[in-house]
Structure 1
Amino acid sequence: MAAFEAAARHLSLTKAAEELNVTTGAVSRSVRTLEEELGSPLFVRRHRAVELTHEGETLAVALHESFERMAVTFRQIKSFGRKANVTIGSTMAMAYLWLMPRMGAFWNSNPDIVVDHVISDHPHGLDRPDVDLRIRYGDGEWPDEQSAKLYDDRIFPVASPAFAKAYPVKTVVDLTQLQLLSIEGIDLTWTTWSEFLNAIHHPNRSTNVRRFNSYVIALQAARSGQGVALGWESLVAPLIEAGNLVRVSDAEIAAPQSYFVTWSARRSLSPHAALLRDWLLSLGSLSSTQASRLPISLEEPSRRRSLKTKESRHGHSR
């Protein structure tokens, strides 16, 4: 059932196998065993994909809700007499560049809460029942989730100081002649150089682009003088302040969508998860520089626990 639920969620036996750390054949055999037990097909097999049958859709919904309730119950039982646990999910770039530098303030003021982290750059990698909170980039609407906007962002070209000095940019044409580092891969929400240039009304088909599927690695390449990356202000502001990166052009655009904190619409957050959510949202009103200079504690714990819950079914549109 776990194999089927993962395959149904991803609509892919291969991606389910990657999540469960087993072979695709093992997932396929598990699904066929379940179909034989039920006496009904659960998937329609295509060449490189699968589609759920009506029976498959019905079972998938029931299993996902059941696994989510089981995960909550397991955590409650495990937490009896122990510290409270909250699990938060995000992409690697968000965790490494935005969340981790700020979490020390929360941990210091809430030593009774253990925050676990699930990191995934796969679009569905955070859709796990054991994840209480998620930091997502999008339009604020995800199936079966409530959301609240964390912040908007801006995007502009960045490079190492040495690279910027060696290859000065005076016009957008100058920029397009340089080695550009682009994020293209699993997550289609990352803005590419083609999209950036189109947004500033300078489409160019002859750019020299190196492609990465990890923003953290692309920024490392930029820091080591290998080219120009698109810097998301919230993520690169501390690197610019530290002198590791510099802006190479005045060109910039507003990020097409926004960052949100999301949580399940089918179950209530624990008081500790709600506290972390409200604390995260309080950071959204700070500038990137202000947030990167957080003191050990933004507020006294007793005051933070009185923050009102800000829940909305679909969050905010961009």
Structure 2
Amino acid sequence: MAKRPYDMPSMTSLACFESAARHSSFKLAASELNVTPAAVSHQIKALEVDLGRQLFRRHHRGVELSESGAYLFIAVQRGFEGISDAVGQLRLRMDRTDVMVHASTAVSSLWLTPRLAAFWKHHPETTVSQHVSDDPAAARSCDLSIEYGPLPEGGPDAIRPLFNGRIMALGSPRFRDQNRIGGLADLTRVPLIHLSAEDRDWTKWSDWFAALGLEMGEGRGFSVNNYVVALEAAQDDMGAVLGWTELLGDRLDTGKLVPLVPQGIDAPQDFYLRIHPEASTAAIRLADWLTAAVQR
């Protein structure tokens, strides 16, 4: 008999364990799973025998995880979350009619959504859904994905460059006036808003200053992990922020944000469109339209 590829106990016992650990109660787990508390207790006892470890400390008023139980609970939760995400993506793809596009929060709100509105006016027969997530891994099940980074190799059937733009130091008019910013050196002494997003290689303030021949100052500042939130914070006079000229919406036109200095740098990486190998004709139509819109 072939050996199973995974060293796994019963999935039923793992489901009972995860629910009981999450609720710290066999009774609540039984209610959630629509079984009896005795059935939950039996499954967990069988799991403890299989592992040779006590997973719960039993008390008169409930249960609590042991050290081994806490270790297993983290692993089981991660596994179940991954399965849940995959199932959700598959259901999402079944529900959508034509095209699913993945984009980050910033790209969706500041660049993609306005262009999709124009696309629908020209192609009302095509239904497009967005999957908005700042996790790049979420793009795997989508027909199209807008990504940021070094431009990968691949022809127009797989990769379409969109834009890179300029990276400018921006702030509110009041922030500029209150801090008397008149030149590049003044930025080394003012509060800076830092963008720290996992899995996305955003240009940092230190990179920006270095490209312009200056060292970043050691003044006050704070970090956020979302580009749109960083822009909002800058509008609220909290500090200077680095802004990609293609990802600002109407903030410059309306004067909500202004360039604090005339200097800027070319974005060192690209925003590009990745096309799934099995993308539909409708997805290719949208990819062609977005590429042409950029060229226009």
Residue 203 of structure 1 corresponds to which residue in structure 2?
215
CA-CA distance at 1:134 after TM superposition: 0.4
Residue 166 of structure 1 corresponds to which residue in structure 2?
178
Among 206, 214, 226, which residue is 2:238 paired with? 226
Aligned partners of 2:133, 2:79: CA distance in 1, in Å?
A: 26
Percent identical: 28
Aligned partners of 2:151, 2:90: CA distance in 1, in Å?
A: 25
Q: How does 1:17-28 map to 2 (within 5 A)?
A: 24-26=74-76
Is 1:99 aligned to residue 118 of structure 2?
no
Q: How does 1:8-157 map to 2 (within 5 A)?
A: 24-26=74-76, 75=94, 84-127=97-140, 129=141, 131-141=142-152, 146-157=158-169
CA-CA distance at 1:209 after TM superposition: 2.4
Aligned partners of 1:28, 1:152: CA distance in 2, in Å?
A: 35
CA-CA distance at 1:234 after TM superposition: 0.2
CA-CA distance at 1:237 after TM superposition: 5.5
Residue 13 of structure 2 corresponds to which residue in structure 1?
none
Report the secondary structure of 1:125's partner residue: helix
The one-letter code sitting in structure 1 at the alignment partner of 2:120 is W
Aligned partners of 1:168 and 1:248 also within 8 Å: no
What runs of 5+ residues in structure 2 fail to find an aligned partner?
6-72, 81-85
Aligned partners of 1:177, 1:28: CA distance in 2, in Å?
A: 43
Seen in structure 2, the aligned counterparts of structure 1 residues 28 and 115 have a Cα distance that, compared at 3 Å, is closer
Q: How does 1:300-315 map to 2 (within 5 A)?
A: none
Seen in structure 2, the aligned counterparts of structure 1 residues 120 and 237 have a Cα distance that, compared at 3 Å, is closer
Aligned partners of 1:198, 1:233: CA distance in 2, in Å?
A: 20
Report the secondary structure of 1:156's partner residue: strand
Aligned partners of 2:274, 2:79: CA distance in 1, in Å?
A: 34
TM-score by length of 1: 0.62
Is 1:252 aligned to residue 269 of structure 2?
no
CA RMSD of aligned residues (A): 2.9
Aligned partners of 1:176 and 1:208 also within 8 Å: no
Among 198, 212, 221, which residue is 1:186 paired with? 198
CA-CA distance at 1:179 after TM superposition: 0.9
Report the secondary structure of 1:248's partner residue: strand
Residue range with higher mean Cα deviation, 271-280 or 157-166: 157-166
Seen in structure 2, the aligned counterparts of structure 1 residues 205 and 167 have a Cα distance that, compared at 3 Å, is closer
Among 285, 288, 299, which residue is 2:295 paired with? 285
Aligned partners of 1:218 and 1:229 also within 8 Å: yes
Report the secondary structure of 2:111's partner residue: helix
CA-CA distance at 1:111 after TM superposition: 1.6
Aligned partners of 2:78, 2:188: CA distance in 1, in Å?
A: 47
Q: Deviations over 1:195-254 (max 9, x none)?
A: 111111112251422111000101000111111100100012521011111101012001
Report the secondary structure of 1:126's partner residue: helix
Aligned partners of 2:126 and 2:282 also within 8 Å: yes
Q: Deviations over 1:266-318 (max 9, x none)?
A: x2x211101110111012224xxxxxxxxxxxxxxxxxxxxxxxxxxxxxxxx
Seen in structure 2, the aligned counterparts of structure 1 residues 262 and 181 have a Cα distance that, compared at 3 Å, is same
Aligned partners of 1:235, 1:159: CA distance in 2, in Å?
A: 15
CA-CA distance at 1:103 after TM superposition: 1.6
Report the secondary structure of 1:111's partner residue: coil
Larger-gyration structure (1/2): 2
TM-score by length of 2: 0.66
The one-letter code sitting in structure 1 at the alignment partner of 2:163 is Y
Aligned length: 217
Among 283, 287, 293, which residue is 1:273 paired with? 283
Aligned partners of 2:115 and 2:290 also within 8 Å: no
Aligned partners of 2:245, 2:106: CA distance in 1, in Å?
A: 12
What runs of 5+ residues in structure 1 fail to find an aligned partner?
5-22, 31-63, 287-318
CA-CA distance at 1:165 after TM superposition: 2.1
The one-letter code sitting in structure 2 at the alignment partner of 1:149 is P
CA-CA distance at 1:142 after TM superposition: 7.5
